Amino acid sequence: MKDSSKLFELARRTQQGEGPHDKYTTLMIANAMAIVARHIELDENDDAEASNRLCQEIRAGEVIPGSTRYDEVYELLTDQARQKVLISNPGYLDK
């Protein structure tokens, strides 16, 4: 959610900038706000501690291709990637 806050703040500051906004800038602000709204709607829970443990397992060679753990990790990471795409570019998965 920290990234959402940063993105929203950037959109807000850009919107408050001096002078008229061109169509591109206006569309970029709207897109940034839509991404933040999807972050809030999907309530993205990023468990940093669990992510760090998983990274340590992978680095230690504990996630071996062909093992049950490997399949679990593959499914977890695939799901996380899918969730991030749904937030940043939801139409992409419809292709």
**13-37 residue pLDDT tens:** 777 775 566 778 778 888 888 887 7
Distance CA(67)–CA(69), nearest Å, equals 5
Distances (CA, A) of 45 to 37, 63, 83, 85: 15, 23, 11, 15
Confidence of residue 51 (pLDDT cuts 50, 70, 90): confident
Whether pTM > 0.75 for this model: the answer is no
